[in-house]
Amino acid sequence: MHIPDGNLFMMCPHPVEEAFRPMPEGYELRLCQPEQLEEWMALHFDDEATFQAHREEMQRFFDQVYLPRQELFFERCLMLYRGDTLLGSCFLWPAYGNINTVHWFKIKKEAEGQGLGRSLLSAVLRDLRPEDYPVFLHTQPGSFRAIKLYTDFGFQLLTDPVIGVRPNHLTESLPFLKEIMPVRDFERLTFATAPSYFLEAAASVPWSEF
C-alpha cells in the first residue's frame, strides 16, 4: 500500500486522563547530554543510510530551533532506556517562544507494541497544568499508529489548510487513514480549527519549529 507523504497537525485542548500510563519496570528516562546529540538525531531514522541522508536537515533544524536555547533543549529532551539501550525519545518544547508542542516522538521499531510510546507520552504530558494547554504536534499519515495514540490522549486533527510555512495534507490523508486504521480507531478521530494566536505564531518565522 502506498503511504502518502505530507503534513498533519494535531491539537490537544485538554488531556484524557484515562490514556496515561506509568513507565514499565526496567525502563527509565534520562535527559539527553550534549555528547549524545548525534545518537539522539540518529534515533529518529531506521537505518544509518537514511540518517546520513537527512543528517544535514536534522542539524539545520537543531541550529534554527534549539541552538539559541540549547540549555533548555538539554533540560527537556527525554531519552528512553532499557539498561544502556536507547529505545525512544520525546519532549515538550515552547515553539515560537511560548506554544507547547510535542517534539520528536519516537520509539524504535524493535520496541514497538509494548506500550512504551504511551508511557513516554504520559511522562511528557503528565505534569502540565490546565493553563499549559492546548498542546500541538506535527505528524505524518504514515504514523497512523501514533495518530491513534495521540487521539487517545485527546489530540484532534487540525483542519486549517496552511500552518506556518507548511500546507496541511489532511484532506489527502484521510482516505489512506480510513483504509489503514481499524474502523473503531478511524471513527474516533476528531477535528478542530487552530486558534488564531497559534496560526499567527507559526507564520511569524520562515521555518517550522515543531
pLDDT, tens digit, for every residue of 81-104? 999 999 999 999 999 999 999 999
| C-alpha distances in Å from residue 7, one per residue of 4, 40, 118, 128 | 10, 23, 22, 26
Q: Cα 38 to the chain's mean position, in Å?
A: 19
Cβ-count burial of 186 within 10 angstroms (0-12 exposed, 13-18 middle, 19+ buried)? middle
Q: How far apart are CA 181 and CA 162, in angstroms?
A: 25
Mean pLDDT value across residues 142-150: 96
Burial call 140-165: b when 16+ CB within 10 Å, e when fewer: bbbbbebbbbbbbbbbbbbeeeebbe
Say if residue 1's pLDDT is above 70: no
Q: What domains sit in the chain, N to C, each tagged with a CATH number?
A: 1-18+128-210 (no CATH), 21-94+103-125 (3.40.630.30)
Which residue's C-alpha cell is 485538554? 14
Q: How far apart are CA 165 and CA 171, in angstroms?
A: 18
Cell readout for 58 is 536534522
Say if residue 3's pLDDT is above 90: no
Per-residue pLDDT band for 4 (boundaries 50, 70, 90) equals confident
